[in-house]
Amino acid sequence: MTFDRSIKIAPSILSADFANFGAECQAIEAQGADWVHVDVMDGHFVPNITFGPATCAAIRPHIKGVMDVHLMIAPVDPYIEAFAQAGADIITAHMEAGPHIHRTMQAIRAAGAKAGVALNPATPAAAVEYLLDMVDLVCVMTVNPGFGGQKFIHSQVEKVRQLRAMIGERPIHIEIDGGVDPVTAPLVAAAGADVLVAGSAVFRGGSVNDPDPYGANIRAIRAAAQAV
Ligand code: DX5
Ligand code: ZN
């Protein structure tokens, strides 16, 4: 993976057909997705359950580009190796998922993946200050994690601005997750975000048999973000 700050659209397969992940990943990449965002939930850290490392390993061969794995699980550390083995390019863990996020970031890089840290809406930007030299991505949750289709929390735009200033020239992506659509994308792009996760706003109106709407949705989000 090379680093740049161009706008990247990362569809979340949380909004895909769960019986058809392989074809869905191929469809969104063919329709212009930059990264594929994979939401892992445990029913403990968040009030919803999705899937684990075996599913990530199964979909990996269907993704040509970056597999961006967002772990909404606690604890995290016992599972890092399994997600790295499953082929995750980026593994993101939550600041709030345990007392030793510094160790978790070290463990992700030691496992050979890029390390991401995610911040829930109530967690301040300053929480990542002492991690900035050991992370590749900061994910700003613009909804409370657990479900797709929630409303964007506008207070987080200021957090993105603060993070962008803190990061400076460091090669760290700022990713936005939750409620991203053509209306909210320009707000976070202007504040300094470069990776835009979108679930419902990408998958709405399409299917593996009719994937053109995915492309139109991706282009609409990208165009809105690039217009700022
Ligand atoms: C929320 C997940 C998101 C979610 C985004 O817990 O981390 O990735 O799928 O879905 P939308 O874009 O529908 O808000
Ligand atoms: Zn996510």
Structure token pair of residue 137: 């991505």
Residue 106: the pLDDT is: 98
CB of 199 within 6 A of ligand 1: the answer is: yes
Residue 39: the pLDDT is: 99
Cα–Cα distance measured from residue 47 to residue 70, given in angstroms and rounded to the nearest whole number: 15
Structure token pair of residue 79: 């599972």
Distance 215 CA to ligand 2 centre (A): 20
Cα–Cα distance measured from residue 62 to residue 57, given in angstroms and rounded to the nearest whole number: 10
Nearest C-alpha neighbor of 81 from the set 51, 50, 53: 53
Contact of 29 with 63, CB cutoff 8 Å: yes
Distance 139 CA to ligand 2 centre (A): 9
Dump pLDDT digits (tens) for 44-102. Answer: 999 999 999 999 999 999 999 999 999 999 999 999 999 999 999 999 999 999 999 99
Nearest C-alpha neighbor of 170 from the set 1, 2, 3: 3
- Beta strand ranges found along the chain (DSSP E): 8-11, 35-41, 66-72, 90-94, 114-119, 137-141, 173-177, 195-198
Contact of 83 with 91, CB cutoff 8 Å: yes
pLDDT-derived band at 12 (thresholds 50, 70, 90) equals: very high
Whole-prediction pTM:
0.98
Cα–Cα distance measured from residue 198 to residue 191, given in angstroms and rounded to the nearest whole number: 17
In ligand 1, the atom with minimum distance to the C-alpha of 15 is 9
CB of 94 within 6 A of ligand 1: the answer is: no
Contact of 134 with 102, CB cutoff 8 Å: yes
CB of 184 within 6 A of ligand 1: the answer is: no
pLDDT surpasses 90 at 131? yes
In ligand 1, the atom with minimum distance to the C-alpha of 41 is 6
In ligand 1, the atom with minimum distance to the C-alpha of 48 is 6
Dump pLDDT digits (tens) for 160-211. Answer: 999 999 999 999 999 999 999 999 999 999 999 999 999 999 999 999 999 9
Residue 1: the pLDDT is: 86
Residue 158: the pLDDT is: 98
Query: Tokens 């949380």 appear where?
Result: 14
For the sheet with 195-198, list strands across it: 8-11, 195-198, 173-177, 137-141, 114-119, 90-94, 66-72, 35-41
Cα–Cα distance measured from residue 40 to residue 50, given in angstroms and rounded to the nearest whole number: 6
Cα–Cα distance measured from residue 79 to residue 128, given in angstroms and rounded to the nearest whole number: 22
Residue type, 163: L
Report the mean per-residue pLDDT for the chain: 98
